[in-house]
Amino acid sequence: MHRDISSITVISHHRSGPPAMKKYYQLALVIISLVSVVTLLFYRHEYNRLRYVLEVLNFFGKPGGQQSSLTSDDCITRNSSHGKEFLNFAEPEPAWQRLSDTHFLYSSYWELSEKERRVRALSVEFGDSIPDFACSFWFENTDAAVLGTFSFSKIEMKEVVKVALKDKNRPKVTGYYLFCKAKDISNVPYGVSFYSTEDIVPSRVFIPVYYTNEKLASSNSTAICIVSSPMPGLRKSAVAEFLSYHQFVGVTNYIIYNGGFPNKVLSVLRGTAVREGLGLGISVLPWNFPVRSRQAEGVARMVMEKDCLFRTRGKIHNVAALTWEEYIVPRYHHLLPSMLDDFDSRRTTTARFEIPTITFCTEFPDDEQAEPGSPLMFRKTRYREIDNSERPFYVYRPHLISASSRELAATTQNVPQRIVALHRYAPCFQSGKQLAEQAYINEPAMLRFSGDLKRSHLLTVWSSNRLFI
């Protein structure tokens, strides 16, 4: 009996050993796990710091003013290898030139059809004179110009030009198309000259001719032309906010009409870092409009919009002209090209989409849920009741735009506000007017993109202020 008890005691002793050892093993595993988690968090923190530094260096160049060694060709090759194509719309470069005392030219385009071959030039008349000019073509490997046939037509306005009382005595402003038609010409001219036949010494204005032989662009390509403001001056953050937002909704190509940009901003927008690091294709065009007046604002915007359409025809599928204070905001879709395709799934011949415009008044208080210091479009979510005087806004498909206004009207689709709207952020009231008496509607559609904007690389490097050092 004693032996049995002893054996039992020994067996119990041997069985009680392993659980004690397991406790030490478990404690060691817990310590190792904690060390691993801390190491992982430290590694991730250092990795994010290194990644941010590399992004900043990639955007601004090396310290000490050294720029990246990548050339434009390197940039184009890298973008092409990833399937991204950025187009240059700035060549040949346009500029306003004086054709007569009251008439000015901006740009010209070669138009080729089964019926005729001609150049279409964009111009503006400051007065009551009717265009009466002659024209001629310039071809490569020729010393003399070839005479053409001149004609003209007015540029139709989308809205009635409102004239202030103090501007009534000023000459009216009219946009014109100037045509120079060719006969028995098969080659494409590189330039065209317009001149007045009444001048004793004709002043010939030479305009380079823009031409593309591309017929149809990629169905998901979308570009925005940013029209010049009547007067210089722009919030520093407006550029980064505008480009960052529209990149999120599927826009990668931009044409900027420069009427007074800071040189530091232009150097960044024209640099290879924007294409390579941010994936944006930006072309900057000069906009030295000859006259600044209230009457001329609507005509100037229309000329920029027409130039945008001719410049992108055959290269871009969807095109719109906006100011820096305007945003195209889908209600449910995330990408603008897919929204247009879904809305036009049964009608592939739609030449333009008319989108409602709503103006968010900057005088109204900020949204209660908006974070302090957040971009303007997230803080201002209240707009006036829709005003019938708002000008129409269109998203175009340039390859389907016809010269006939009747045909264009027949191929226009009206997109309801529940699908998409143009958000414009601007002052609404005269100083001293009581805001409490103004009726407004709350529209928080823009807030769904706030998370995307917080993660924007462009806004991150822009807000660091290193660009302006």
The burial of 84, by beta-carbon neighbours within 10 Å (0-12 exposed, 13-18 middle, 19 or more buried), is given as middle
Task: Summarize pLDDT for 196-243 with one digit per residue, the tens.
Answer: 877 666 678 999 999 987 666 677 789 999 998 877 677 778 888 999
pLDDT of residue 152: 96
Which is nearest to 465 in space by CA: 243, 237, 234?
Answer: 237
pLDDT of residue 104: 95
In whole angstroms, what is the distance from residue 447 CA to residue 350 CA? 30
Please give the CATH architecture assigned to the domain spanning 97-210.
Answer: Sandwich (2.60)
* Token pair of 337 as six digits: 């090209």
Whether residue 357 is predicted with pLDDT greater than 50 in this model: the reply is yes
In whole angstroms, what is the distance from residue 330 CA to residue 423 CA? 10
Which is nearest to 301 in space by CA: 425, 128, 173, 206?
Answer: 173
Read off the pLDDT band of 62 (50, 70, 90): very low
Whether residue 92 is predicted with pLDDT greater than 50 in this model: the reply is yes
Core vs surface per residue 37-56: b (16+ CB within 10 A) or e:
eeeeeeeeeeeeeeeeeeeb
Can you tell me the mean pLDDT for 435-456? 80
Do the first three CATH levels of 97-210 and 222-468 match, i.e. the same topology?
no
Q: Round the average pLDDT of the chain to a whole number and report it.
A: 78
CATH number of 222-468: 3.90.550
In whole angstroms, what is the distance from residue 225 CA to residue 395 CA? 11
Return the domain boundaries, the chain.
1-60, 97-210, 222-468
> Degrees (nearest 5) of the Cα angle 188, 253, 350?
75
Task: Summarize pLDDT for 6-37 with one digit per residue, the tens.
Answer: 444 444 444 445 566 677 777 788 788 888 88
Whether residue 387 is predicted with pLDDT greater than 90 in this model: the reply is no
155 with 303: CB under 8 angstroms? Answer: yes
Whether residue 461 is predicted with pLDDT greater than 50 in this model: the reply is yes
